[in-house]
Each structure stands twice: as structure tokens, then as C-alpha cells.
């Protein structure tokens, strides 16, 4: 009885081969599919992160313009012979751009705040925005509306962001 059971098991194993793993073809196919998916996902993820960085730079520029406006509207603005506050956006030689906020009197100009941005960002045109104290902080940028265009050299698609400044009503909008 024992011999026939063993023969039956051997015959069953021969006819119905039981696999305990994956074949090389199956593994290579899986690796190929995963590689193709990664080739699609990784660039999109990197572009998403860089796009968020560009949005953050746009928000920082908007904040700097609003800070300059707040300086012009502060109670201190009417004393010490101050005439205006201005913010100057300029490209840096070798890459990047900066902004500097100035406090102007009739005879001198003092730096209040300054900041630099990475080499991957640049301005299409340099811009100066002046808030005159005589007009209670109205913007004197021509033409109205004025735009600061910031580009990111690492982005392929949608690599620009515009900070629009409306000199009539003082609104500042960020447009992609």
C-alpha cells in the first residue's frame, strides 16, 4: 500500500509541476514595467516641486511689495524728512535676482531690507516701485498695471510667474 501511494505522488508531481517562485522572464517583465512607471512619475514629481518653489518666490515678491507699502503708511513715515519708500528688483550678474527696499529723504537713501534669490530665478525686466509719502503711499509705477515677470530656468513647462501691480487700486495679484 505504501509503495503505490509513493508512486501515485511521484506520478502526480511529474504531471502537475508545482512552482515555488517566479521565473526569470516574470521578474524581468516586472522590473521593466516598474522602470517605465518611474520614468514617467519622477520627472512629474520634480517639476511639481520646482513649480511650488516658483509660486513661493512669487509670494515672497508680493510680500516684499506689501512690506514696502506698509513702511510708507507707518506713522514713522512722516518724520525725519522722509520723502518716499521704494523697492528695486534687479537681476544679479551671474544669475538670480534681488530686491532692495530703500527709505529716501531729500538728500540720501538708506537700505531698509534686502534679499537675494537663487541663480535659477531671473527677471525679464528690472523694476522700481515707489510709494510717495506726499500721496499717502500711492504707487508711482508706470505704466499701470505693471508686471514683474519671474522665470525659473529649471522648469520646462509653465516656467514663468507674473506679479501684477495695479497702481490705481493697489491690488497685487500673482498669475501663473
Range of the domain at 115: 24-175
Average pLDDT, rounded, for the chain? 80
pLDDT class for 28, splitting at 50, 70, 90?
A: very high
Q: Which helix (H) or strand (E) holds 129?
A: strand 127-132
How much is the average pLDDT of 140-161? 72
pTM of this prediction? 0.69
- For residue 44, being part of any structural domain is answered with yes
CA distances to 19, 35, 88 from 27, rounded to whole Å, are: 14, 12, 59
- For residue 9, being part of any structural domain is answered with no
Ranges 42-46, 102-106, 152-156, most confident: 102-106
Q: Is the pLDDT of residue 135 over 60?
A: yes
Backbone angles phi, psi at 11, to 5 degrees: -65, -40
C-alpha to C-alpha distance for 156 and 48, rounded to whole angstroms: 11
Please report which residue ranges of 74-132 form alpha helices under DSSP H: none
In this predicted structure, what is the pLDDT of residue 34? 94
In this predicted structure, what is the pLDDT of residue 54? 82
- For residue 2, being part of any structural domain is answered with no
CA distances to 8, 16, 17, 92 from 11, rounded to whole Å, are: 5, 9, 10, 82
Residue 89 burial (CB count, 10 A): 21
- For residue 59, being part of any structural domain is answered with yes
pLDDT class for 1, splitting at 50, 70, 90?
A: very low
In this predicted structure, what is the pLDDT of residue 156? 64
C-alpha to C-alpha distance for 107 and 50, rounded to whole angstroms: 43
- Percent of the chain at pLDDT above 70? 76
C-alpha to C-alpha distance for 158 and 109, rounded to whole angstroms: 37
In this predicted structure, what is the pLDDT of residue 78? 63
Alpha carbon dihedral 42, 43, 48, 54, in 10-degree steps, equals 140
- For residue 107, being part of any structural domain is answered with yes
- Percent of the chain at pLDDT above 90? 19
- For residue 13, being part of any structural domain is answered with no
In this predicted structure, what is the pLDDT of residue 148? 85
- For residue 17, being part of any structural domain is answered with no
Total count of domains within the chain: 1
- Tell me how many helices (H) and strands (E) the chain has: 2, 9
Q: Is the pLDDT of residue 18 over 70?
A: no
- For residue 95, being part of any structural domain is answered with yes
pLDDT class for 16, splitting at 50, 70, 90?
A: low
Amino acid at each position: 500500500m505504501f509503495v503505490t501511494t509513493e508512486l501515485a505522488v511521484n506520478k502526480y508531481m511529474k504531471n502537475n509541476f508545482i512552482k515555488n517562485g517566479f521565473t526569470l522572464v516574470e521578474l524581468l517583465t516586472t522590473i521593466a514595467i516598474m522602470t517605465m512607471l518611474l520614468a514617467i512619475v519622477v520627472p512629474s514629481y520634480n517639476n511639481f516641486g520646482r513649480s511650488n518653489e516658483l509660486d513661493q518666490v512669487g509670494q515672497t515678491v508680493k510680500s516684499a511689495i506689501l512690506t514696502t507699502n506698509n513702511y510708507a503708511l507707518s506713522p514713522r513715515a512722516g518724520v525725519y524728512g522722509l520723502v518716499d519708500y521704494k523697492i528695486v528688483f534687479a537681476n544679479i550678474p551671474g544669475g538670480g535676482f534681488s530686491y532692495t527696499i530703500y527709505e529716501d529723504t531729500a538728500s540720501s537713501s538708506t537700505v531698509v531690507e534686502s534679499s537675494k534669490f537663487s541663480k535659477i530665478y531671473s527677471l525679464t525686466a528690472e523694476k522700481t516701485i515707489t510709494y510717495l509719502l506726499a500721496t499717502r503711499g500711492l504707487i508711482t509705477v508706470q505704466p499701470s498695471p505693471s508686471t514683474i515677470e519671474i522665470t525659473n530656468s529649471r522648469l520646462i513647462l509653465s516656467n514663468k510667474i507674473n506679479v501684477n501691480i495695479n497702481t490705481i487700486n493697489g491690488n497685487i495679484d500673482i498669475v501663473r
